[in-house]
Amino acid sequence: MIRIDGLTKRFGDRAAVDDLTFAVEPGRVTGFLGPNGAGKSTTMRMILGLDRPNAGTVTVNGHSYVGVARPMREVGALLDARALHSRRTARNHLRCLAQTNGIADKRVDEVLQLVGLESVARKRAGSFSLGMSQRLGIAVALLGDPKVLLFDEPVNGLDPEGIRWIRELMRGLAGEGRTVLVSSHLMSEMAQTADHLIVIGKGRLIADIGIGEFVRQGSNVLVRADDQDRLVPHLVEAGGSVQQGTDGSFVVTGLEPRRIGEAALAARVVLTELTPQRSLEQAYMDLTRDSVEFQASAV
């Protein structure tokens, strides 16, 4: 469990993280979202004690992570996959870290196998592709078998097979009861991986919400029904607005699928389709529209 309370980090007169409060619960994958420059990496660095906050506190499993004797056993982190000794072999890189954290050598071979790098374990890390470096970074994060894991853009540079592997790995780690916080800009990926979302913009909390609820909020729902004429007045009475489609369907705004189902039950009309139409990407774009700092203009 990670607890962040009133966390603030300023660079000069600019707040990169501004009075942020949220908790990351164990047993689920929490997606950490926000536009470029929102403060995600800075927040992760403060969780790890790599940046010192100007105000507020961070605790990991109930205590401050700064000054912990064997940090890799408490928290595993992938922040920047390229941050490694490029002349060391992958295996040596892991062995050095294992030694300084009191981790047995055999764990090095275990994590190399886990991330699929055994065949290149004796190659220099500097010769690795971005995807291989990501895998090595993940091996580092897993080395101490920690209960808390932070991943900053872990799918960067991975091929589709690698992306699926990461997804299953994260789901598996959360399934074992670990705390998993992962940042990403790939909404389709987050939709498949995360259970919960923390969304920030310009250093401030925008949403702390379950992924299902996030997508449902304010969504449109495509509806088909046996007797539309009987159903529509019930939907309007329930607070929905209805827009007629061209193919016998219609779109309801302002009501969740459950409320539409209840209105259909009251009207004694059979629903033949009930499809929420908002994607995670659309929900995210709607929510963060006012927090985007760097925006390209239309050509």
Footprint of ligand ATP on this chain (CB under 6 A)?
Answer: 11, 16, 34, 36-42
Cβ distance to ligand ATP smaller for residue 11 or 100: 11
Cβ distance to ligand ATP smaller for residue 76 or 203: 203
Angstrom distance (rounded) from CA 26 to CA 127: 36
Angstrom distance (rounded) from CA 244 to CA 221: 12
Shortest Å, Cβ 37 to ligand ATP: 4
For β-strands 75-78 and 148-152, DSSP reports them as: parallel
Sequence-separated (6 or more) residues with CB below 8 Å from residue 166: 138, 154, 155, 158, 193
Cβ distance to ligand ATP smaller for residue 24 or 143: 24
Gyration radius (Cα) of the chain, Å: 23
Shortest Å, Cβ 20 to ligand ATP: 11
Shortest Å, Cβ 28 to ligand ATP: 21
Shortest Å, Cβ 43 to ligand ATP: 7
Cβ distance to ligand ATP smaller for residue 11 or 168: 11
Angstrom distance (rounded) from CA 158 to CA 184: 13
Shortest Å, Cβ 194 to ligand ATP: 16
Alpha carbon of 159 to those of 127, 137, 222, 259: distances in Å? 18, 16, 34, 41
Cβ(16)–Cβ(39) under 8 Å? yes
Q: Inter-axis angle of helices 130-142 and 105-114, to 10 degrees? A: 130
Shortest Å, Cβ 187 to ligand ATP: 13
Alpha carbon of 289 to those of 19, 36, 134, 158, 199: distances in Å? 20, 12, 30, 28, 12
Cβ distance to ligand ATP smaller for residue 99 or 188: 188
Cβ distance to ligand ATP smaller for residue 199 or 232: 199
Helix (H, G, I), strand (E, B) or coil at 138: helix
Angstrom distance (rounded) from CA 277 to CA 284: 14
Cβ distance to ligand ATP smaller for residue 41 or 288: 41
Shortest Å, Cβ 160 to ligand ATP: 22
